[in-house]
């Protein structure tokens, strides 16, 4: 089941990230072909700053019975900019999958300060004539650093 985790103090210290989201092939339930599935992985309130993001894929995404299903790309962003943190990244083993992608502290292009509430969204895109629910293998982890400024002043 797709799950968002707040990392422990030790995990935060070790990695620099504050949140993680685990997506497995079983979470891909979209049955309409050529249709993306969006996961609201986090919430940003006014005063939230996001400064880092990364993706790690221990097991590549695949429809084991259909080698022609070769394009499953993801983005990480929000309602305003769907690829604000991670640009379109291929996950399908039959394409040219990227197992680890990091966009870490690129302050010129990555950091975003929220002035109003929004969700942080992982969008999984499918290809023409293929449906995401046919994917039967894969696991993806997405990490990001999110700080709510109001919590820093107690």
* Tens digits of residue pLDDT in 78-128: 999 998 888 888 888 887 767 666 555 454 556 788 999 999 999 999 999
CB of 54 within 8 A of CB of 103?
yes
pTM: 0.90
Helix (H, G, I), strand (E, B) or coil at 40: strand
CB of 63 within 8 A of CB of 136?
yes
Number of Cβ within a 10 Å radius of residue 123: 17
User: All domains of the chain, ordered by start, with CATH?
Assistant: 3-149 (2.60.120)
């Amino acid at each position: 089941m797709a799950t968002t985790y707040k990392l422990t103090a030790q995990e935060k210290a070790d990695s620099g990230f504050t949140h993680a989201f685990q997506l497995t092939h079983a979470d891909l339930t979209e049955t309409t072909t050529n249709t993306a599935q969006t996961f609201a992985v986090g919430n940003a309130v006014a005063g939230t700053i996001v400064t880092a993001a990364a993706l790690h894929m221990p097991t590549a995404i695949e429809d084991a019975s259909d080698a022609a299903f070769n394009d499953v790309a993801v983005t990480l962003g929000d309602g305003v900019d769907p690829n604000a943190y991670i640009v379109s990244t291929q996950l399908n083993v039959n394409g040219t999958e990227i197992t680890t992608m990091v966009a870490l502290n690129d302050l010129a292009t990555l950091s975003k300060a929220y002035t109003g509430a929004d969700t942080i969204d992982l969008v999984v895109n499918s290809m023409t004539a293929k449906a995401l629910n046919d994917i039967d293998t894969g696991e993806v982890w997405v990490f990001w650093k999110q700080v709510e400024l109001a919590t820093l002043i107690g």
